[in-house]
A and B are shown apart, each in its own frame.
Chain A
């Protein structure tokens, strides 16, 4: 079974600064996806960024980028130029990509509450 750990229950950052959220995971599989989802006060779950495990290049989406360290099983999210609208709960999630297995059950961490201060 896979597990996802987010060791920072809460973080805060000043507007326009950079913040990094940590995520580690445990799996014996080699092929998988990793995701960061954002849940703002509206409680909607929004996909922020996705990383395929076979890709060495770190994914980026505008101000959001990841540092994927496969050997260390680490998948951190960096938010640059933080904005007030980035205030949300951030969840790291794992998904197997092997066919024939449970390649549809997202496994989530418990989340990190990020507050961006003006």
Chain B
């Protein structure tokens, strides 16, 4: 019973490049969440998606960030024209409904 899978685990980008982070939820889970963790901080909610729908993206910056959860395939968090302040750990979580969320191992993004 595979858990939430994220890839890549580590991603290095130069300023101005694009970052694509992938998340495959646990089997049977149709709810996906993305959180960001800055150094020395707890996780902060970014976006909540169900298949083909963005339910709430209130925690996501309005510019350069986008998320999708297509009918087939993983959820993608996309960051365009990355800046140094985007360096963080990005966690994906999934749940069968709106209850306990199970997290993936995270993607550590470093922007040079």
Taking Cβ atoms with an 8 Å cutoff, the residues of A that contact B are 4, 33, 35, 37, 42-47, 50, 91, 93, 95, 97, 102-111
Q: Is B28 an interface residue (CB 8 A)?
A: no
With most chain B CB atoms within 10 A of its CB, the pick from A37, A44, A109 is A44
Which 4 pairs across A and B sit closest by C-beta, in order of nearness?
A: A108-B42, A45-B103, A105-B45, A104-B98
Supply 11 A–B pairs (Cβ within 8 Å), ascending by A.
A35-B100, A44-B103, A45-B93, A91-B42, A95-B98, A97-B98, A104-B31, A106-B45, A107-B45, A108-B43, A109-B42
Residues of A within 8 A of B101 (CB): 47, 95, 106
- Determine if B105 and A103 form an interchain contact, defined as CB atoms under 8 angstroms apart: no
Partner of B42, one of A46, A102, A104, A110: A110
Residues of A within 8 A of B100 (CB): 33, 35, 47, 50
Q: Is B91 an interface residue (CB 8 A)?
A: yes
Residues of A within 8 A of B105 (CB): 42-44
- Determine if A105 and B106 form an interchain contact, defined as CB atoms under 8 angstroms apart: no
Report the minimal beta-carbon distance from B48 to chain A, rounded to whole angstroms.
Answer: 5
Contacts across chains A and B counted by CB atoms under 8 Å: 60
Residues of A within 8 A of B61 (CB): none
Docked Cα-Cα span, A91 to B101, in Å, equals 14
- Determine if A44 and B35 form an interchain contact, defined as CB atoms under 8 angstroms apart: no
Residues of A within 8 A of B59 (CB): 105
Report the minimal beta-carbon distance from A81 to chain B, rounded to whole angstroms.
Answer: 25
Could you give, for residues 4-29 of chain B, a 1 whenever the CB lies within 8 Å of some chain A CB and a 0 otherwise?
A: 00000000000000000000000000
Q: Is B89 an interface residue (CB 8 A)?
A: yes
Residues of B within 8 A of A111 (CB): 42
Docked Cα-Cα span, A113 to B42, in Å, equals 12
Nearest CB in chain A to that of B55: its residue:
A104
Report the minimal beta-carbon distance from A46 to chain B, rounded to whole angstroms.
Answer: 8
Docked Cα-Cα span, A51 to B2, in Å, equals 25
Residues of B within 8 A of A35 (CB): 100
Residues of A within 8 A of B42 (CB): 4, 91, 93, 108-111
Docked Cα-Cα span, A16 to B43, in Å, equals 30
- Determine if B102 and A43 form an interchain contact, defined as CB atoms under 8 angstroms apart: no
- Determine if B108 and A43 form an interchain contact, defined as CB atoms under 8 angstroms apart: yes
